Amino acid sequence: MAYSQTLARRGFWAGLSRDALALGAMVLALGLTIAISLCLGSHNIPLEETLKLVWLKLTGQEVDPLYRRSEVVLFAIRLPRILMAFLVGASLSLAGAAYQALFRNPMVSPDILGVSSGAGVGATLAISWGLPTLGLHFMAFVFGLLAVFLVLFVTHLVSHGKSLLVLILVGVVVSALFGALGSFVKYLSVDDQTLSSMVLWLMGSFAHAGSWPNVSVMALAFCLGGIPLWLTRWRINALAFGEEEAQSMGVGYERLRLVIIIGSTLLTASAVALCGLIGWVGLIIPHLSRFLVGPNFGRLCPAAVLGGGLFMLIVDSLVRVALPGEMPVGIVTSLVGAPLFIYILCLGRKTWI
């Protein structure tokens, strides 16, 4: 089988190098964006100064008191916020990519499945009860899971899970239901202070979330949710043809489904718990990533992580630097996301509609 072996080698590397190029370009863009984002803000820091401070920090040297202010801005304010934006964008995008693979439906995302609004309700409840951060996370996760399982259950009742359209419709309905529940909780909250903090927080923002403790919580959630998805990346591909075919190929469908749902819901819920509702990222970035590297999850996974993080970081930097005040980033992702998605629909029409 010498022929097939040479074919194998050439084909395999040819495919890999093209995708590696795409991923490499994304890493590069990410590095650049981080550098620019570190420098700019209400207190601009020259690039040399930023690089020098980062170098001093990395090598553990003493910082000249002259640069104290820049040091605080860089390492106590900007860097954690940048990391937070990256992690949240990456989490939402990876969760979206995984849900889309599981449901074989490129129209599905954490928002459309109701996970985001479910997690939002959980978090709102936690705030109104005055629960600590851990309780808030827990409530967001539980309500997020509740929303997915409700969507799955109703879809099964209606169409035995065979119809891609029914899944989306049920997701929209469940989202609306949880949205109403969220409003109800807000309505019940007595004092205006809590209410306005809830509303503002639900709009999605990194302005208050970017602290080191929050970043470490988000990083932990990203690992807990993301690593199982990465490890099963190859099996996830086998879901592309549906449950029966996956079974006939020896894939344990139920277990894989559970891994994907729990992992993705954890990613989404943690993002919502820390930064509020940030829509569209989980729908658009997996789409764009598939355009770049194809649907093979082994490549889609890193592409979605890098792309989601990059997108979120760019949007948050724009919000921070270019817009007056602190506009919630969720508003901007929706403003950018909706037209972008329509453009993608036009582009991708022939591949899956």
Partner 1 sequence: MDLILENVSCGYGSKVILAGVNATIPQGQAFGLLGPNGIGKTTLFKAILGFLPLMAGRVRLDSADLKSLSRSARARLMAYVPQAQFTPFAFRVLDVVLMGRAAYMGFWGRPGRADLRAADISLARMGIDFLRERPFTELSGGEKQLVLIARALAQEPRFLMMDEPTSNLDFGNQVKVLKIIRDLAKAGLGVVLTTHYPDHVFQCASQAGLLLPNGNLIVGPYESVLTSENLSAAYGAPVSVLKWPGAGEDFRVCRPGYF
176 binds partner 1 (CB under 8 A): no
**14, 58, 66, 322: which one binds partner 1 (CB under 8 A):** 14
- Distance between CA 353 and CA 291 in Å, rounded? 15
232 binds partner 1 (CB under 8 A): yes
- Distance between CA 207 and CA 282 in Å, rounded? 21
59 binds partner 1 (CB under 8 A): no
Q: What is the CA radius of gyration of the chain?
A: 21
Closer to partner 1 at the Cβ: 295 or 330?
295
164 binds partner 1 (CB under 8 A): yes
Token look-up 């801005």 returns: 73
233 binds partner 1 (CB under 8 A): yes
DSSP for 17-60, written as a single string? HHHHHHHHHHHHHHHHHHHHHHH-SSS---HHHHHHHHHHHHHT
248 binds partner 1 (CB under 8 A): yes
265 binds partner 1 (CB under 8 A): no
Give SS3 for 209: coil
180 binds partner 1 (CB under 8 A): no
8-16, 70-78, 148-156, 172-180 -> range binding partner 1 (CB under 8 A): 8-16
- Angle subtended by helix axes 115-128 and 192-202, to nearest 10: 160
24 binds partner 1 (CB under 8 A): no
Structure tokens at 117: 């609004």
Best CA proximity match to 33, nearest among 221, 285, 306: 306
2 binds partner 1 (CB under 8 A): no
Burial 227-248 (b: 16+ CB within 10 A, else e): ebbbebbebbbbbeeeeeebee
- Distance between CA 189 and CA 191 in Å, rounded? 6
162 binds partner 1 (CB under 8 A): no
Closer to partner 1 at the Cβ: 36 or 251?
251
List, in order, residues 6 or more apart from 165 with CB less than 8 Å away. none
- Distance between CA 142 and CA 277 in Å, rounded? 16
133 binds partner 1 (CB under 8 A): no
**131, 224, 298, 331: which one binds partner 1 (CB under 8 A):** 298
**220, 234, 338, 342: which one binds partner 1 (CB under 8 A):** 234
Q: How far is the CB of 9 from partner 1 (least distance, A)?
A: 9
Structure tokens at 180: 């109403």
294 binds partner 1 (CB under 8 A): yes
Query: Which amino acid is residue 70, in one-letter code?
Result: S
296 binds partner 1 (CB under 8 A): yes
What does the per-residue mask of binding to partner 1 show for 100-119, with x meaning CB under 8 A? Answer: -x--xxx-------------
Q: How far is the CB of 315 from partner 1 (least distance, A)?
A: 27
Question: Where on the chain is the footprint of partner 1 (CB under 8 A)?
Answer: 1, 3-5, 7-8, 11-12, 14-15, 101, 104-106, 164, 231-235, 237-238, 240-242, 244-252, 255-256, 290, 294-296, 298, 351-352
